Structure 1
């Protein structure tokens, strides 16, 4: 099956904590309103190793970095997934990037570059897609 979902439909790159064999497990994934469309990008036993991975994936997909609130752990979401009839609530995801940081980054990208005729930079806004073959 081939499913193409535009990246703009995802909330961001989330890092969440779950349990596997009585040990904590951390996952970096693309958070979507529909839990079945969430894409797991990386898993690890320690959160420190995933902090850089989360920043990398957030920059790659040009989406914010998110963290799941501690009350709604990944294990509870996975256990409740078959019983869910409504999509996950996006307000339960807490952004880790502060708005001033985002605004500063955007201003820097929009500056004019020195070069041919002092033209403004070309901005390409193409879609990226994730392909999964099972």
Structure 2
């Protein structure tokens, strides 16, 4: 059930105790909850969701929760992923030989903004990204 926030909506999904195969369900959840976002921009949001959740599995001791918020004007989707690691993600220079390391570069390219908020209570962090979903973005 979404929460109304400042003319938009917000949703959350508990990911504690899950593993990477849950990414299919996370993308389905995101697609259903963002039914009002056009397909071209929804693809960008789904890529950002996938990268942030994957990073939490690979580098952050697994995600504990994902939240998405949507505001219609200006059209913007905010994605937040909590994990238990204090280590911040970095945007790495792409390498032709490395198998990974491109996730945050992709997030940076598809997002209007992204960042990290430390959580002193858990010792972890929240990685967030905002994706514009209108023709101006």
TM over 0.5: no
TM-score normalized by the length of structure 2: 0.24
Question: By percentage of residues, which structure has more helix?
Answer: 1
TM-score normalized by the length of structure 1: 0.24
